[in-house]
Structure formats: C-alpha cells, structure tokens
Amino acid sequence: MTRRRTGRGRAWAELLRVSALLSVPGDALAGAAAAGARPGRGTLCALGASLCLYEAGMALNDWADRTEDSVERPHRPLPSGRVAPGAALAASAALTAAGLVLASRAGRPSLAVATALAGTVWAYDLRLKHTPAGPGAMATARALDLLLGATASTRGRDTPTRAALDALPSAALLGAHTYAVTAVSRHETRGGSTRTPLAALAVTLAVAAAASGGPRGPRPDTARLRPLLALAYARTPAPLLLHAALNPSAALTERAVGGGIRATIPLQAALAARSGAPATALALLGLVPAARALARKVSPT
C-alpha cells in the first residue's frame, strides 16, 4: 500500500512538473517590485493564484496531449496509465477555480488579470499550442502572471492600472524569455533545429542586457547586483542552447528547455533588482539550488 501511494504521488509530481513550480513565485514578487510596492497580503494572494493556474496548465497540457504522448512519450503519467485522464482534467478545472478565487481576494483588477491569464492558459493547451501562435500565447501568460503580482500589490494612492503600466517593461522581458524557451520546446521530442536555439540564445543575451539596467536610476545597493544577476540568468541557459544548436538532438534540445525554465528564477531576481528591490532579488536567487535539486528528481519538461 505504501509503495502504491508513493508511485501515485510520483505520477502526480511528474504530471504537475513540481520541479518547475519554484519558477512561479518570482512572477508575483517581481511584479510587486516593478510596481514599487512591498510584498503584502495581495502579493500572497497573487502568488497562490499563480501557483494554482500554473499547475492547472500543467495538468491540462498532458490531458490535451495524451494521444500524442502515447506515441512520443509513453512514459508520461497519462499514457502510462498512472493517472487517469479524467482525474487530470478535473484537477485542472479545480486548480483554475482555486486560482481565480485567490486572485479575487486581492481585488477586482487582480481577478480580471487572473481571468485573462486563465483564459490564455486554456487556449494555449487546447488550441494554440501546436500553431504559430503557441509561443506568443505562452509568453502572454507569463507576462500576465507578473502583471497579476503588480496589480495585487498596490496600496494607497497607487492604482492597479498605474501599477500594471509600471510593470510592463519587466513583463515584456519575462515574456520575451518565455517566448524563446517555448519556441525551443517545440523541437524537444524530435530535435533537428539549429536556428531556433540560436535565436533563443540571442534573445537570452538581449534580455540579460536589458535586465542589467534599471528604470529607477542607479542605486548603490543595486548598481552592482543588477549585472551580476543578469549574468547569472544568461549563463544558465546559454551553454545549453549553444550545445543544442551545434548538435540539435532531442536530448540536448530537452536539456536546453530545462535550462530555460530554471533560468526564469534568476531572471525574476534580476528584474526585481532592476526595479530597486535587492532583498526580493536575493530571496528569489535562494530558490535556484532547490529548483536544481528538484529537477534532478522530476523533469521540468
């Protein structure tokens, strides 16, 4: 019985990509930093909503791909029979509802952003994933997640609209990174693309250069931190993307995708530092070792 429960837990951990889960909290925290707000109750609601909607997308992704995965990735939880398709779909619906409820606790503007985010996630998994619009939809979802943190964290004279506008540059950089990783991921089962990893590498370097700057002017406590965090971000996926370009095998492409997912955390830290929140940046950077350790146990892709 214990072994059966362990196996069931492992299957759900694979389905929900728990090793990638640590890449989610930084969206809300970077959004709060971009809005010039300290993390508070609203930020926690946004963080919880982000986690729920992210996991909803993971479950829905495998439910939508169950037929394709039965041929290309039969070891995954659904085609292998370790998780029932109905259970995965029900979990996705329940997690989506929970995410919207949590977002509503931070106010109507946050609920509006979360609703747009949920709609983008479902549209991507059910319709857009295998179309040219797929990477753009995924990038939009990640950008909206950062904007959710910004709108949920506002206080006093700041309005959610003003917070969202302030957070747009950070959201755009996070979206650009996500677009590049998603574009590479479309080749992870078959490989064969040299141009896409090279393009993703160029995007990574451009995002790192932009993140090393600061929209609020130089500050002694962030002037040195920003370029260091930008470098930490770039060096995570860059070697893997270069390897995938030189040898576009499925295995190396999948490794590059995993590196891109892990690089989200130092990017979020760099964005927080760019917005003048060094404490948030360092806290996020502390998640990197845990994310790396989890990735060794459960694949993030």
HEC per residue, 136-201: HHHHHHHHHHHHHHHHHCCCCCCCHHHHHHHHHHHHHHHHHHHHHHHHHHCCCCCCCCCHHHHHHH
Between the alpha carbon of residue 264 and those of residues 33, 161, 174, 294, the distances in Å are: 16, 25, 8, 15
pLDDT digits (tens, 9 = 90+) for 78-132: 999 999 999 999 999 999 999 999 999 999 999 999 999 999 999 999 999 999 9
Structure tokens at 34: 């971009």
Alpha carbon distance 143, 123 (integer Å): 16
Q: What is the pLDDT of residue 52?
A: 98
Q: What is the pLDDT of residue 297?
A: 80
Structure tokens at 72: 């290309």
- Check pLDDT > 80 for residue 18: yes
Alpha carbon distance 37, 152 (integer Å): 10
Q: Is the dihedral of CA 265, 270, 276, 281 positive or negative?
A: positive
- Check pLDDT > 80 for residue 21: yes
pLDDT digits (tens, 9 = 90+) for 148-166: 999 999 865 468 888 999 9
CA proximity to 15, closest of 96, 73, 100, 72: 73
Task: State residue 240 phi and psi, 5-degree precision.
Answer: -70, -40
- Check pLDDT > 90 for residue 293: no
CA proximity to 65, closest of 91, 96, 97, 88: 88
**Using an 8 Å Cβ cutoff, are 289 and 223 in contact?**
no
